[in-house]
Amino acid sequence: MTRIYNFSAGPAVLPEPVLRQAAEEMLDWHGSGMSVMEMSHRGKEFIAIHAQAEADLRELLGIPKNYKVLFLQGGAAAQFAIVPMNLLRGKAGADYINTGQWSKKAISEAKRYCKVNVAASSEDGNFTFAPKQDHWRLDPDAAYVHYTSNETIGGVEFQWIPQTGEVPLVADMSSHILSRPLDVSRYGVIYAGAQKNIGPAGLTIVIVRDDLIGHAAPITPGVFDYKVQAESDSMNNTPPTYAIYIAGLVFQWLKNLGGLKEMERTNITKAGLVYDYLDQTEFYHSPVAKDDRSRMNIPFTLRNSGLDAAFLNAAESRGLTQLKGHRSVGGMRASIYNAMPVEGVRALIEFMREFEKNNG
């Protein structure tokens, strides 16, 4: 069996030990005689899987006791609506920071439910940087402040946590959660689609502070109400059971590696290898401000865009796949999430050097 190096932005590469364990347990989970996919979500077997996954996630992130962990569905895109439904608490508006395509989608959806104040934006700079907080124009009466802490498409990552005082801070962390240690207590709500750093598509993780639960707008469907889901242990409806199981295996893999501090060291090494090469060549170009470069998603362009197709075809022939940039920005993008090994990054750079030598 030959495994490729998959640089997809999501669904994305998973740790090979996790895939192997899942394969071994596919037909018979721990002597139960059945696959996790066949289990009742009310049965003792799956309840144990669910409880262990939550406990491991809490340990990895140091989640305080006054926060609930919800395992939901609908992706981060559903949270674009669910957040204002639950957090407005009678207020008229919320602050949003616009740093890319996912921020824009969140803003567009929130406008269905409240007045949106775009407190800062990098759109005039083609979404290549994170606006410094001294340029933000926050509304002190806002229900919450929302930002996308890592923009998957543009490759912009906040290397700092915004200060919002008594106004709850909400973050879409879909594409870099679990890539570094995190002070959860600085946030009101953190949400993330699983298909980048956590597991397969279909699972959404929400971490929400207790005092923000129980204030959903009357229009909110029960399945979207944080209070309803918290009280039912995320089982108001059938949860994405197999995705939760795989996420639990990923959490155990991270713990076995040494936790998020060790994972961050590896991620800094991987991203540094790519950016160091991009910075010393004129054949390729990184468009993102150096202080705001993502460790997870690295967009780059070729000086001669006419070579794009040849680059992608040659890369794929070498087992380096999914390097095409998002259709909205073009160019290339290497997503190097937690499960991408350092060897994969080195193979990419070796190929890029060779392509430059042959085409520069």
Question: What local confidence, expressed as pLDDT, does residue 328 receive?
Answer: 79
Question: What local confidence, expressed as pLDDT, does residue 327 receive?
Answer: 83
Q: pLDDT tens digit string along 132-163? A: 999 999 999 999 999 999 999 999 999 999 99
Question: What local confidence, expressed as pLDDT, does residue 2 receive?
Answer: 82
Domains of the chain are 16-257 (3.40.640.10), 259-359 (3.90.1150.10)
Backbone conformation region of residue 75, classed left if phi is above 0, alpha if psi is from -120 to 50, else beta: left
Residue 312 has pLDDT above 80, yes or no: yes
- Kindly give the residue spans of alpha helices, DSSP state H, lying in the chain: 16-24, 44-61, 75-87, 101-110, 226-231, 241-257, 260-279, 308-317, 342-359
Residue 11: cis peptide before it, omega within 30 degrees of 0: yes
pLDDT more than 70, % of the chain: 100
User: Would you call 189 helix, strand, or coil by DSSP?
Assistant: strand
Average pLDDT, the chain: 97
56 flagged as catalytic? no
From 68, 104, 196, 270, active-site residue: 196
Residue 234, token pair as written in the block: 């995320």
User: Residue 63 — φ and ψ, nearest 5°?
Assistant: -70, 125
CA 288 to chain CA centroid, nearest Å = 19
Q: pLDDT tens digit string along 165-178? A: 999 999 999 999 99
Q: Give the integer Cα–Cα distance in Å for 147 and 109.
A: 14
Give CA angle at 49 (37, 254), nearest 5°.
105
Q: pLDDT tens digit string along 51-72? A: 999 999 999 999 999 999 999 9
136 flagged as catalytic? no
Q: Give the integer Cα–Cα distance in Å for 183 and 169.
A: 12
Q: pLDDT tens digit string along 255-309? A: 999 999 999 999 999 999 999 999 999 999 999 999 999 999 999 999 999 999 9
196 flagged as catalytic? yes
Confidence of residue 1 (pLDDT cuts 50, 70, 90): low
Mean pLDDT of 8-22: 97
Confidence of residue 189 (pLDDT cuts 50, 70, 90): very high
Question: What local confidence, expressed as pLDDT, does residue 213 receive?
Answer: 98
From 56, 95, 172, 225, active-site residue: 172
**Hunting for tokens 């996919």 — which residue is that?**
37
